[in-house]
């Protein structure tokens, strides 16, 4: 039985906003699948949101977590996100959205890594939650499929290794953040487990 907890006006508004973000993401991603699987894509944004809930409890950051791929992967625009969810969530989603989708993969990732290294703590936590969710899935599937796993990606293991090791380095300040440190360590460990320790 649920406890009868009195919410403040702000808490109610934040919960409504988070519920709206979950519903919007579910609708926008409804036809998407996780790469190389039959799993509905929405499972990934929900995991990112859950990691942020455990990490910070910041409901705007959680909303940005569940919305982080809507602009890149659906018909949603960044203007839609700002209009529906406000400037704070819009700014977080925009910071985590690749700007030039038609550029080569390597160039887009280099730009994202440069941005990430200069991003503020909240945006880095958003990216950490996303990358950790990805690495959990990669580590699980790598244990199951071995080297055949890399066939589902546009780039092979060596390039993926470069990217994920660079992400570990770009977010290294989070190692000293009390909220993020356990998640950063898990991310670093999974990157080293799958790709080898670059020391």
Would you call 186 a catalytic residue per the annotation? no
Residue whose C-alpha is closest to residue 177's, from 123, 138, 131: 123
pLDDT band at residue 155 under the 50/70/90 scheme = confident
DSSP symbol at 33 = B
pLDDT band at residue 105 under the 50/70/90 scheme = confident
DSSP symbol at 40 = B
Instruction: Tell me which of 53, 73, 94, 177 is the catalytic residue.
Output: 73
Would you call 158 a catalytic residue per the annotation? no
pLDDT band at residue 199 under the 50/70/90 scheme = low
pLDDT the model gives residue 21: 98
Burial of 31 (0-12, 13-18, 19+ CB in 10 A): exposed
Give the chain's count of helices (H) and strands (E). 9, 0
Q: What string of DSSP letters covers 63-119?
A: HHHHHTTHHHHSS--HHHHHHHHHHHHHHHHHHTS-S-TTS-HHHHHHHHHHHHHHS
Instruction: Tell me which of 11, 16, 20, 72 is the catalytic residue.
Output: 72
Burial of 32 (0-12, 13-18, 19+ CB in 10 A): middle
Whether 34 shows a pLDDT value over 90: the answer reads no
pLDDT the model gives residue 46: 98
pLDDT band at residue 49 under the 50/70/90 scheme = very high
Query: Exposed e or buried b for every residue in 107-128, given b needs 16+ CB within 10 A?
Result: eebeebbebbeebeebbbbbbb
Residue 4 CB neighbour total at 10 angstroms: 5
> What domains appear along the chain, each with residue ranges and CATH number?
1-97 (1.10.3210.10), 99-199 (no CATH)
Whether 103 shows a pLDDT value over 90: the answer reads no
pLDDT band at residue 10 under the 50/70/90 scheme = very high
Mean pLDDT for all residues in the chain: 93
Cα 108 versus chain centre, distance: 16
What distance in Å separates the CA atoms of residue 116 and residue 114, rounded to the nearest whole number?
5
Residue whose C-alpha is closest to residue 97's, from 87, 108, 88: 108
């Amino acid at each position: 039985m649920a406890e009868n907890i009195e919410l403040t006006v702000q808490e109610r508004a934040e919960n409504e906003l988070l519920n709206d973000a979950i519903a919007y993401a579910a609708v926008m991603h409804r036809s998407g699948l996780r790469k190389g699987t039959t799993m509905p894509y929405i499972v990934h944004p929900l995991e990112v949101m859950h990691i942020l809930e455990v990490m910070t409890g910041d409901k705007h950051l959680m909303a940005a977590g569940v919305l982080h791929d809507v602009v890149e992967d659906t018909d949603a625009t960044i203007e839609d996100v700002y209009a529906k969810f406000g400037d704070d969530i819009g700014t977080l989603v925009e910071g985590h959205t690749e700007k030039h989708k038609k550029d080569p993969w390597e160039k887009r990732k280099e730009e994202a890594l440069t941005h990430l290294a200069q991003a503020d703590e909240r945006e880095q936590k958003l990216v950490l939650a996303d990358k950790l969710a990805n690495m959990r899935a990669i580590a699980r599937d790598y244990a199951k499929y071995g080297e055949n796993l890399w066939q589902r990606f546009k780039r092979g293991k060596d390039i993926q290794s470069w990217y994920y090791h660079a992400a570990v380095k770009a977010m290294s300040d989070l190692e000293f953040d009390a909220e993020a440190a356990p998640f950063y360590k898990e991310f670093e460990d999974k990157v080293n487990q799958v790709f080898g320790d670059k020391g």
